[in-house]
Amino acid sequence: MYSRTFLIAISALGMSPLSGHAQLRVAAAADLEPVLPPILLQFQQATGIRAEATYQASAALTTQIQNGAPFDLFLSADLSYPKRLIDAGLADAAGSPDSSTPITYAKGTLVLWIRKDSQLPPPSLDLLRNPALKHLAIANPERAPYGRAAVAALTSLKLYDNLKPRIVTAENISQAAQFVDSGNADAGLISLTSALTPRLASSGTYFLIPHDLYPSIEQGAVIVSSTTQRAAAHKLLDFLLSPTVQAQLAKSGLTPAK
């Protein structure tokens, strides 16, 4: 048995008392917040390595890593932000056939979500053309890949200019979902991972935005170059890419990488 003093001391150093590893610090895109916690728990149970995630917009996490934030692994909602870190020499995809390209661990899906008690018609592309739609929530397209996908889809539908004055911009995809769920927006273009959470699944309904309306949301991972936990970070990446976890991601709203 560990003494309480030992546990407090080793925790202060960021160590896991079970494994002897420093705790892995994961920078995770906001769309992973409903998905990743049980996976990290399973990873700890399988390996003894504890991992803790910080969930924010991919751009915000990229800036933090550029400024020296002590992350070990970055799970972005796209490929461009982790590629930016690779190009700057701040991250790598070692273990990938092409270490200059982020490792794709999943693909995201964009949906239109509304509350079940909404006075609007059920979600569909026609709803986006409905003048009764007064406020549409999306993630910030300058900081969040799902926000860029939302703008691309609206542009493909030739609706962006008409809807732009009615768009409510959230910091990230989780906040966009909160805007609609709280009634601060009539509908939202959000991630399928958010729509499938127990809360939103019970309180709302969604429509899958056709994939041909927006660029593929390929979600990429890189290991931060300054990490002292490279082997453990690789273990977590391998765990994410394992068939069992990829199937779990699929049930949570992410398309498997392979």
Low-confidence ranges of the chain (pLDDT < 70): 1-21, 94-99
- Domain range for 118 is 110-208
Residue 20's pLDDT is 53
What is the residue whose two structure tokens read 């906001």? Answer: 30
pLDDT at position 41 is: 97
One domain for residues 136 and 199: yes
CA distance 140 to 144: 6
Task: For residue 141, give every residue at least 6 positions away whose Cβ sits within 8 Å of its Cβ, in sequence order, or none.
Answer: 147, 148, 150, 151, 169
pLDDT tens for 196-227 read 999 999 999 999 999 999 999 999 999 999 99
Query: Does residue 115 share a domain with residue 199?
Result: yes
| Number of C-beta neighbours around residue 45 at 10 A | 9
What tens digit of pLDDT does each residue of 99-129 get? Answer: 678 999 999 999 999 999 999 999 999 999 9
Do 156 and 242 lie in one domain? The reply is no
Domains contained in the chain, number: 2
Q: What is the CATH number of the domain that holds 117?
A: 3.40.190.10
Phi first, then psi, for residue 77 (nearest 5°) are: -90, 5
Q: Are residues 102 and 8 in the same domain?
A: yes
Q: What's residue 182's pLDDT? A: 95
